[in-house]
Structure 1
Amino acid sequence: MSTTQRSESMNKFFKDYVRSSTMVNDFVHQYEKALDARYFKEKGKDVRTKSTRAVLKTCWTIEEEAAKVYTRKSFKIFQDELFNSQRYKATKVQKEDESKMYEVAPNGKDKRIYYVTLESGEAKAICTCHMFEFLGIVCRHILCVLVKKSKLDMLPYHYVVERWTINAKSRAILEIPVFDGHVMIKEDPIMRKSKLMMQFYDIAELGSQSSFRMNHLSLALEKVHKELLLMEDIGEKNLEGGDMSHNDSPILRSQVISNFSQTIQDPQRVPTKGRPKSLRAKNPKETQSVKKRRCSICKIEGHTKNNCPSLGDIENINDSISQRVDLEEHIT
């Protein structure tokens, strides 16, 4: 039997979207939002699994091989079990034909003992803790026996549950059972998208191996993208009878670019942060009229005597007077 921890965690998750007073029509929309949040979180973890490498804690080859098979979260559980298996000691207590029974006990004050039955022919073991039967990941007691006694470098295939692996969603489910027991092959947008995503993963893996392949793939995707956009404008029914030859590619590009120029517009203007200046309460001193400066020469407001326009005329008059006085002194 499982504990109530899993059900309680799901209750907490759905309480963020629905409550007891939620109407039926609102419940449908909120339930879809909850599922979208789950799918978005799952996609983020898939990207993290495919784009990062796991940090190893031991020098055993079995850990490196498990990192290539399991997802990051599943590998973290397996890695903890493998790392903690070093604290245990396995002692053979019974042997019957090809099966062996080991007594696995920790090195320390804890004297709890587990018994592991190992079938030497298939490297298949059963532990009294039954963690693998409950969780689907092999326990530390079996790993202690497999690594230290059997000297295994790879995890046996029967200990790798498909739902915890990286390729768990790589197989497309195309067969949908109906009520009468027959099988109906249905093609809907979700299945088409799933099939294309599997192809894109393989293509992206090949294209990321070098810069030349990446540029070639980028140009090819750009060309296909433009052709698909043009199909939406022309209509798929008009294109079913004929084929899109390579000679039409310049026409497709020109039409698609013209469509882009008509649809692309300026981005929305984002207001600046803070309170608008028009709504700010002004201080009474700010509303008082400022006394304008008055020129001491021409007595006109708006400038001072240093930049007075009449100052130049006064200087010219003074220069002419000083020249006349110099001339008279020279004559006398």
Structure 2
Amino acid sequence: MTCMLLELNGLEFIENSQKALETQYLKEVKADYDSEQLERRLVLHSSLEMHASEIYTKKMFNRFQKELMKSTCHIVNSVKNNGTYMSKLYLVEKATLPENCRRKYRVTVFMCKKIECSCKKFEHSGMICKHIIRYLDKKQKIKIPESLIMGRWTMNGNKIAGPLPYAPPGIGNDGASQPLRYGALCKSFQDLAASGSCSVSRYKYLMGVIDREKIYLKDAFTDEERRERTHEAKTQEDYQHDPIFDPPTSKTKGRKKTKRYKSGIETTTSKIKIKPRKCNYCGAIGG
């Protein structure tokens, strides 16, 4: 009995894992489609925002827009004679705050066209911060430097990295369940539908093939399906005949109760007369 339960739990775990992988794969495909096909809504219509809308994915572009809006209330001041000729130092601070409450961030521009900020947001999340955006806007840069663009946040990130590590479940095993077969067929038909919807001739041909195959499936596999169903029914009957015992009872805390608890209705309708309650102040009975 224990071996049977372990086997069933293992099969259920494998099926649920496969469903989770398929769901993650479909979400990734939908995100790629939204990034490539849906239009981006521009806020400031600046050159940096236009360039970001062409390279970033949908979610990362929304994050870039938030940083772009925050950068409008910052000012940039250059620092002269910073002690080195290999880099230039700029101080970025928020202009809407009082001078004694402003925090200054250092933006370092190296000769190799590398830009760093003291807030370290780009190193942490891969998105350029508002301080660097403000510096680029002051220098009237048209595009975001390549050193500040991470490939995994671009629209071509998945294409550069290669296809997603997904493989449909194998259906050669006779013990494969119906949900696994259904998921594999859905994934295959999605690719077939995408190819068949490209033109009218492909669509008509594919619909004709589907209609013919429907009739063939109904007529050709009736005997085989009947044998599979009888085999599954036999296995379920074998499981049903296994003895199921009561679980072990645990001893509760406290003294063992000699009598059972009676409900309020049962105590009022019982033959035993219960002494009514009496008030300690006025002496009223039942109050």
For this structure pair, what is the TM-score category when the shorter chain's length is used for normalisation?
A: 0.5 to 0.7
Which runs of structure 2 are paired with 1:208-227 in the superposition (5 Å)?
A: 217-219=198-200, 221-222=202-203, 225=206
Work out which structure has the larger RCO, using CA pairs closer than 8 Å and 6 or more positions apart in sequence: 2
Which runs of structure 2 are paired with 1:1-332 in the superposition (5 Å)?
A: 23-95=9-81, 96-109=84-97, 110-119=101-110, 121-148=111-138, 150-171=139-160, 173=162, 217-219=198-200, 221-222=202-203, 225=206, 258-259=212-213, 262=216
Number of paired residues? 185
Write the deviation string for residues 75-100 of structure 1: whole angstroms up to 9, x where unpaired: 11111112211111111124432521
Q: Which one has the largest radius of gyration?
A: 1
Closer, same or farther in 2 for the Cα pair 1:256/1:99, shift >3 Å? closer
Q: How big is the shift at 1:257?
A: 5.9
Aligned to 1:326: none
Q: Give the residue type in structure 2 aligned to 1:129.
A: C
Closer, same or farther in 2 for the Cα pair 1:41/1:258, shift >3 Å? closer
Give me the whole-angstrom Cα distance separating, in 2, the residues matched to 1:45 and 1:25.
30
Query: What is the identity percentage for the equivalent residue pairs of Structure 1 and Structure 2?
Result: 27
Closer, same or farther in 2 for the Cα pair 1:264/1:43, shift >3 Å? farther
Q: Secondary structure at the match of 1:153?
A: coil
Give me the whole-angstrom Cα distance separating, in 2, the residues matched to 1:114 and 1:106.
10
Q: How big is the shift at 1:44?
A: 2.5
Q: Give the superposed CA RMSD.
A: 3.7
Superposition TM-score, scaled by structure 1 size: 0.47
Superposition TM-score, scaled by structure 2 size: 0.54
Moved over 6 A (4+): none
Aligned to 2:179: none
Q: Secondary structure at the match of 1:166?
A: coil
Give me the whole-angstrom Cα distance separating, in 1, the residues matched to 2:205 and 2:80.
66
Q: Secondary structure at the match of 1:170?
A: helix
| Unaligned ranges ≥5, structure 2 | 1-7, 170-189, 220-287
